[in-house]
């Protein structure tokens, strides 16, 4: 059997868990870096062993375990002829620890709104049942208001669910076929109202509803939080998030030519620009931003933060140097082929978790 390595090899030895993905290849995740004192049995068996891997291959309902080794510069691994007893014990214990550490997350989909010909779904990731009502977080994907779907936020939603929140990935109407970003804002408001009506079903604390938006999704979430009216209808408290978490968000739409073109004469862009409606009622807000972002500007994020603080609201801004939209390292082309800096992304995730922890929304 040959397994393709999707992670670059390193000179030092380490153990890793490999989970087979849908393509039949495997992805590597280092979980333990041993010292130089390898058991003599290994060194005697293979003097040229540079890396040892633990591979967990899921077949039907069973787990098969095998030991593999390779040299640092090879792109495939060949099955080792045998594994020392000491490693066999590790191979049996680590999978059990890994599997037991995974929280039980339930996934369901529900229709939260029917708008004309469009049936809009909410994908709910529920943590293990608990006695107390849990906070919820609604995630809105990016895509320049014209692309994408709820699945783009599934991975992050599962992480929030693992932390004990009811995480909901939201589909909304895109600005195509005669629609505009205003329709997406309307859907965002409807989604927050819907999740509150489902509080008993999902055991949710209706006072702890987070809006998480990426890029254009950040605009929808922020708009739902601060706009007084959408399509002439007053936005109610139940249609608003309790907390804002914004990742490379579009916040200043008043003088944005692209946004103006998407509006197609269906409203004044300034009337749907979150930056125009900041006051002391702004929910606690966290913003993640790249310094070199050419899609949504760091200057707009700073202006939003400064205005919020001046109004007496809570707004935390983290700007990462040398990266662009969605923290991409590809500065020249920032609207596609994202090459997000992994260290910055990990740090941003940590700051998001700390923000929620400080508010009492997650505990671990």
- b/e map of 215-230 (b: 16 or more CB within 10 Å)? bbbbbbbbbbbbbeeb
Residue 91 confidence class, pLDDT cut points 50, 70, 90? low
Give the pLDDT score at 101: 54
Give the pLDDT score at 92: 54
* Within a domain: 364: no
Residues linked to residue 137 through DSSP beta bridges, in sequence order:
167, 210
Assess whether 172 and 46 both reside in one domain. Answer: no
Residue 327 has what DSSP assignment?
Answer: G
More confident site: 103 or 154: 154
The chain-wide mean pLDDT, for the chain, equals: 80
Residue 40 has what DSSP assignment?
Answer: H
Is 16 a residue whose pLDDT tops 70?
no
Residue 75 has what DSSP assignment?
Answer: S
* Within a domain: 363: no
Q: Among 66, 101, 136, where does a domain finish?
A: 101
Residue 70 confidence class, pLDDT cut points 50, 70, 90? very low
Q: Among 62, 78, 101, where does a domain finish?
A: 101
Give the pLDDT score at 87: 52
Give yes or no for a contact between 67 and 54, defined as CB atoms under 8 angstroms apart: yes
Q: Which residue spans within the chain are E strands per DSSP?
A: 2-4, 15-20, 26-32, 51-59, 62-70, 76-79, 106-115, 118-126, 134-140, 166-170, 204-214, 229-230, 233-234, 243-247, 285-290, 315-320
Catalogue the long-range contacts made by 90-98 (C-beta closer than 8 Å, 24 or more residues apart). 90/15, 90/54, 91/54, 91/65, 91/67, 92/65, 94/15, 94/17, 94/31, 94/54, 95/17, 95/54, 95/56, 95/63, 95/65, 98/17, 98/31, 98/56
Residue 312 sits in a domain of what CATH number?
3.40.50.1820
Query: Among residues of the chain, what percentage have pLDDT more than 90?
Result: 67
* Within a domain: 311: yes
Residues linked to residue 29 through DSSP beta bridges, in sequence order:
17
Assess whether 70 and 124 both reside in one domain. Answer: no
Q: Identify the helix (H) or strand (E) that includes residue 94.
A: helix 85-101
Give the pLDDT score at 278: 98
Assess whether 49 and 81 both reside in one domain. Answer: yes
Q: Find the range with the poorest average confidence among 56-60, 72-76, 141-145.
A: 56-60
Is 80 a residue whose pLDDT tops 50?
no
Q: How many domains does the chain have?
A: 2
Tens digits of per-residue pLDDT, 311-329? 999 999 999 999 999 999 9
Residue with tokens 């509080």: 199
Query: Among residues of the chain, what percentage have pLDDT more than 70?
Result: 72
Assess whether 119 and 166 both reside in one domain. Answer: yes
């Amino acid at each position: 059997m040959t397994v393709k390595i999707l992670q670059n090899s390193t000179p030092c030895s380490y153990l890793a868990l490999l989970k087979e993905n849908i393509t039949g290849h495997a992805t590597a995740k280092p979980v333990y870096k041993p010292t130089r004192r390898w058991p003599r049995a290994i060194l005697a068996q293979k003097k040229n062993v540079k890396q040892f891997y633990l591979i967990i291959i899921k077949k039907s309902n069973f787990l098969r375990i095998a030991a593999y080794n390779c040299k640092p510069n090879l792109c495939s691994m060949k099955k080792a002829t045998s594994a020392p007893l000491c490693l066999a014990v590790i191979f049996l214990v680590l999978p059990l620890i890994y599997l037991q550490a995974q929280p039980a997350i339930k996934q369901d989909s529900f229709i939260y709104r029917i708008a004309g010909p469009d049936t809009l779904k909410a994908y709910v990731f529920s943590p293990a049942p608990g006695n107390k009502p849990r906070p919820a977080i609604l995630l809105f994907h990016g895509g320049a208001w014209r692309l994408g779907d709820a699945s783009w936020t599934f991975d992050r939603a599962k992480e929030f669910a693992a932390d004990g929140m009811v995480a909901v990935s939201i589909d909304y109407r895109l600005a195509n076929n005669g629609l505009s970003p205003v329709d997406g804002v309307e859907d965002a408001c409807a989604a927050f109202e819907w999740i509150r009506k489902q509080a008993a079903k999902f055991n949710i604390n209706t006072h702890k509803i987070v809006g998480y938006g990426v890029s254009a999704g950040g605009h929808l979430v922020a708009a739902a939080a601060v706009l007084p009216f959408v399509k002439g209808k007053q936005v109610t408290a139940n249609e608003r998030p309790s907390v804002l978490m914004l990742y490379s968000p579009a916040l200043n739409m008043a003088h944005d030519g692209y946004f103006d073109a998407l509006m197609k004469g269906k409203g004044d862009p300034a009337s749907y620009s979150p930056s125009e409606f900041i006051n002391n009622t702004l929910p606690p807000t966290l913003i993640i931003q790249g310094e070199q972002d050419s899609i949504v500007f760091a200057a707009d994020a700073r202006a939003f933060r400064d205005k919020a603080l001046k109004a007496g609201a809570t707004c935390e801004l983290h700007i990462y140097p040398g990266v662009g939209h969605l923290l991409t390292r590809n500065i020249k082309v920032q609207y596609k082929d994202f090459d997000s800096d992994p260290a910055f992304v990990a740090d941003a995730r940590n700051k998001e978790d700390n923000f929620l922890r400080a508010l009492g929304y997650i505990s671990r």
